[in-house]
Amino acid sequence: MLLHAWPISRTGVWFRKFYLIVWQGTVEVPEAVLRTVRLAVTAKDVEYARVRIAVLVFAVQDGIEYIVKVVSTKYIFSSEDNLLNLDDILPFDSLNDPVERQRYLQEPCESLKIHIVISPLTDPKLSAAGIT
Listing DSSP states for 24-78 in one string gives TEEEEEPPEEE---EEEEEEES-SEEEEEEEEEEEEEETTEEEEEEEEEEEEEEE
Specify if 130 maps to a domain.
Answer: no
pLDDT for 123 equals 64
Indicate the SS3 state at residue 90: coil
Containing domain of residue 97, as a range?
Answer: 2-122
Q: pLDDT per residue over 46-64, tens digit each?
A: 888 889 999 998 888 888 8
Averaged pLDDT score across all residues of the chain: 79
Specify if 35 maps to a domain.
Answer: yes
Q: What is the CATH number of the domain that holds 90?
A: 2.60.210
How far is Cα 102 from Cα 49, in angstroms, rounded to an integer? 37
Distances in Å between the Cα of 89 and the Cα atoms of 23, 93, 116 are: 40, 12, 12
Domain count, the chain: 1
